[in-house]
Chains A and B, each alone.
Chain A
Amino acid sequence: MSQFLQVLLSGLSTGSIYALAAIGFTLVWQAAQTVNFAQGEFVMLPAFFVLIGIHWLHMPLWLALIFGLIVAVIVLGLLFKKLIVEPMLPNGGLPLIIATMALSILLKEGTKQFYGAEAQPYPSLFPQTTLHMDGAVVSVQDLLNLVVSLTIVVALTLFLNRTRTGRCMQATAQNPAVAEILGVNTKRMVLYTFLINAALAALASFLISPVYLAKFSNGETLGLVAFIAAIVGGFNQIRGALAGGLLIGVLDNLTATYVTTEYRAALPLVLLIVIILWRPQGLLGTSEGRKV
């Protein structure tokens, strides 16, 4: 039982980090109908910005984190939107999908060339101690990761539902034409969405890199898990992406501990196929209806 609790908690912890990436993915999908195949690399890269801040610019950790966040928002939010998404929107969805795939190769290979192929040790944000509760050994890092990412999700939900800007963003996502008529600056709202996505990816990166180490190929699994979490939970819902992320994190850890490690990576994929067969709109999603 105590082992089960441990596995459950560490599953929830990684799952909540997956959820951050999945939520960003969902937001961008809603606002710009853009499927970002480079989302995994968006989570991989900010950790390297922080490492650059620490090793090359000799910043203390807290400053390097802020530096990493700002660079990530500029590069993965602003530049991604202006240089890749915007010129390609008139060409339709397919070229953009292909371009994000190429972008993921570019970011991955770029990191490998400029920072090396080995996994880089990454400073932990939280103490590496454990708590003993009822016989279960609980890692403080897992616990705090979970708390921090859930706080971010709650803050984001509050921002989207309670502030004027957030509601304008939602309106833009739901119906850009009507939002524009009602005086919403839709272009600006879409840009905000991309910036928020970059920030979420950066935060996920800071939380997950102490666990996985910073490596150029981290994005491959992270990106796939983020897609799957978004689809499993319901593509058009923030709480869906959250549920999807948590579910995959927990199931992943449970399979690895109790069933098989060889097929650990297969589980989210099987889950994806089952969900698409059984409930294509996702666990918490509402059907979007056919656009005819």
Chain B
Amino acid sequence: MKFLRKIFDNAHEAINKNEKTKKFFPLIDSFDTLMFTPNHTTKNGAHIRDAIDLKRTMMFVILALVPCLLFGMYNVGHWHYEALGETATFMQKFGIGALGVLPLIIVSYGVGLGVEFIIAIRNGHAVQEGFLVSGMLIPLIMPVDVPLWMVAVATVFAVVIGKEVFGGTGMNIINIALTARAFLFFAHPTSMTGDKTWVAGIKDMKTDGVLADGFSGATSLGDLAGAKAKYAEAVIATTKGKSDEIVQALYDKGDIAASKAMSMMDSFWGIEIGSVGETSAFAALLGAAFLIWVGIASWKVMISFFLGGLSIAGLFYATGGDLAAGGNPFYAVDPITQLMYGGFFFGMVFMITDPVTAAQTSTGKFFYGFIGGALGILIRMGNPAYPEGIMLGILIANVCAPTIDHMVIQANVKRRMKRLKTA
């Protein structure tokens, strides 16, 4: 420890000797403050200070992400072998998954922190902690087979346009990680949707012709979105007298949830195709329990986000989704299962709760969360072209947050004005 301290002290000294190298101070300083809480003392005001700082706050969010990350690695491997139609041990699956996920993490952190360092040196301030979390979130909300250069471009976009132009950590309007995802979603939709990106190595499997029979490679939501077309096919197929079992089931019931791939419990545990870390509601809830336990994420936002999603899912479910009557297949899924699909829970725990982009007032948080959840599910169910509506729902809620806060604060201001008038 003393040895390490000495290295940093020497590095500081060496860098301060020369005018030219002085500007690289943030570089040394960032590593120094990572290893040591600095010896800064209070100057005026409160002489004693709480032990909490931003580094610990951010690190606890990363710890909360660990279940999602580990499960995500396993899940990636699981679907790799499913796609091949082979059986594999737990460790084999995990190994393949880790090989698929780690490059994403390395690119995200490498590029993101690189940009942060350049900006810090340019502006002459220390590197701030915000990207520690964003850098972990970005790989977890990407399809595993997205090209790495795209992740790099998206990360640069998110850090520069999403955050630094507003003034850095704590100043951004919308969620950094979702900015990266939204960027790719609109700039490179073919790499972010469809059936050729969600399973590690699926493209090669297709060209090599080793893909297991009947394996689609699309997410549950993608399957749902395609159900209408499939149903139409099924109608034609049955008239021609050559329907397979699933198509028959679709045709008979007009109910997509009957399909086994859509099981609620599989979705809850996370055995489904999707972005790396988003599939498991269970892992996300583990993270939620930890974040609420240490008081870092707001339970108010989580609860209201859940209720928002549930109410819209319930409302649409009640109107029914009879495919035979030309209905929307998303409406046919019962509300709880609907929420288990895709990234709803991951968004609820890690995205909507980002304190910088969330509403800041206690009352505002309830409205904010509700709007996020409701919009997310509304977009998902109402417009099957955007199956992952949660991302858009949260981004829109981010944009609404200042307005929500404004209204809550104005209520307080009005109370004060009223007092002044009656006094």
A and B: interacting chains: no
Interface residues of A (CB under 8 A from B): none
Interface residues of B (CB under 8 A from A): none
